[in-house]
């Protein structure tokens, strides 16, 4: 396994591999790896000769300094996990290596960046778009792998690729869950045992909403039911929305013939978690 901390030698290494016709998959991560990340790595290893896993806690995408400070960092464990996969290249740069200067460009993403997460995390998608664009330019992957858990992030990156004509195929990989339904996330590491138990409420709420939706209960009424479910618990709902899974526009009726996503964000103690469920057509 090759580990690079600088852009120049990574580029030289990948240029040489590309000249040998090797295909390159990119798995962007912020580390604290879990089975969800590893499913992206496995997907890339199956499809490509080389997989570049980037491990970089991107300061530009954090609007909350406390969240950035507490974001779990587990490099040694991460490297040990990646060691198991063939063709692994790890890119673990410093913040100065990635951001030689503060970016002058601001990425907006219009309505796609303002809804759901965008309402509560100003500047977040600018930061995600910025670092992903940099990674695409540094690694020049044939394919890049992202998790469905960050559904809005995937939608935003799809627009980034379209708007900047990046020559990369995007893959959205399914959510990996714990037996009680909790979606795997690096932030789960911050939950104490009591909070960990309560965190399953997000998935429970998605299940209730899915059931109501199937019974043609109106989106407004489903929202009210979910809000009621959380008002009786000590998990604090930030939002629950029923949206078109691609445009992320709110759904007006349960009779819509379009891929639908149920999206949720909630605080369990200090830890903010998100989850979603796609209904009907695969994303
Ligand atoms: O999903 C994440 O972990 C991050 O947002 C990403 C895509 C690695 C960019 O920092």
Please write the tens of the pLDDT for every residue from 78-103: 999 999 999 999 999 999 999 999 99
Q: What is the CATH number of the domain that holds 54?
A: 3.40.50.620
Give the pLDDT score at 255: 74
Phi/psi at 278 (5° precision) = -100, 130
Whether 106 and 162 map to the same domain: the answer is yes
Write the CB contacts of 116 (distance below 8 Å, at least 6 apart in sequence).
152, 239, 241, 243, 248, 263, 265
Residue 226 β-bridge partners? none
Cα(257) to ligand 1 centroid in Å equals 31
pLDDT mean over 245-259: 86
Q: Is 179 part of any domain?
A: no
Handedness of CA 28, 34, 37, 38 (dihedral sign): positive
Q: Is 181 part of any domain?
A: no
Distance CA 198, CA 42 (A): 30
Give the pLDDT score at 281: 63
Q: Can you give the residue range of the structural domain that contains 222?
A: 186-275
Cα(130) to ligand 1 centroid in Å equals 11
Task: Say yes or no to pLDDT of 32 above 70.
Answer: yes
Which of 56, 127, 128 for mutating ligand 1's site (highest number of atoms within 8 Å of CB)? 128
Residue among 37, 124, 126, 142 flagged as catalytic: 37
Average pLDDT, the chain: 96
Q: Is the CB of 61 under 6 A from ligand 1?
A: yes
Q: Is 195 part of any domain?
A: yes
Give the pLDDT score at 283: 57
Give the rounded percent of residues in the chain with a pLDDT score beyond 70.
99
Cα(216) to ligand 1 centroid in Å equals 35
Distance CA 56, CA 73 (A): 10
pLDDT mean over 165-177: 98
Give the pLDDT score at 38: 98
Task: Say yes or no to pLDDT of 120 above 70.
Answer: yes
Q: Is the CB of 117 under 6 A from ligand 1?
A: no
Task: Say yes or no to pLDDT of 216 above 80.
Answer: yes
Cα(134) to ligand 1 centroid in Å equals 12
Give the pLDDT score at 257: 79
Q: What is the CATH number of the domain that holds 241?
A: 3.30.1300.10
pLDDT mean over 136-146: 98
Q: Is the CB of 29 under 6 A from ligand 1?
A: yes
Confidence band (pLDDT; 50, 70, 90) for 252? confident
């Amino acid at each position: 396994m090759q580990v690079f901390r600088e852009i120049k030698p990574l580029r030289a290494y990948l240029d040489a591999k590309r000249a040998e016709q090797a295909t390159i998959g990119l798995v962007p991560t912020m580390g604290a790896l879990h089975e969800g990340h590893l499913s992206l790595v496995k997907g890339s290893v199956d499809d490509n000769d080389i997989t570049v896993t980037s491990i970089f806690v991107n300061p530009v995408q954090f609007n909350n300094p406390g969240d950035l400070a507490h974001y779990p960092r587990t490099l040694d464990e991460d490297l040990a996990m990646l060691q198991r996969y063939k063709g692994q290249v790890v890119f673990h740069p410093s913040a100065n290596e990635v951001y030689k200067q503060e970016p002058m460009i601001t990425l907006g993403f219009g309505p796609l960046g303002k809804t759901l997460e965008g309402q509560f995390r100003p500047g977040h998608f600018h930061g995600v778009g910025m670092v992903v664009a940099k990674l695409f330019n540094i690694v020049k992957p044939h394919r890049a792998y992202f998790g469905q858990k960050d559904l809005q992030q995937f939608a935003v990156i799809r627009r980034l690729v379209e708007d900047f004509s990046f020559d990369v195929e995007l893959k959205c990989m399914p959510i990996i869950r714990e037996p009680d339904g909790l979606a795997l996330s690096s932030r789960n590491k911050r939950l104490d045992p009591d909070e960990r138990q309560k965190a399953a409420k997000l998935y429970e709420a998605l299940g209730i909403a899915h059931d109501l939706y199937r019974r043609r209960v109106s989106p407004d009424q489903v929202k009210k039911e979910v809000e009621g479910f959380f008002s009786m618990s000590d998990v604090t709902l930030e939002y629950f929305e029923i949206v078109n899974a691609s445009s992320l526009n709110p759904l007006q009726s349960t009779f819509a013939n379009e891929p639908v996503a149920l999206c949720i964000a909630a605080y369990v103690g200090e830890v903010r978690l998100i989850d979603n469920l796609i209904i009907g057509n695969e994303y």
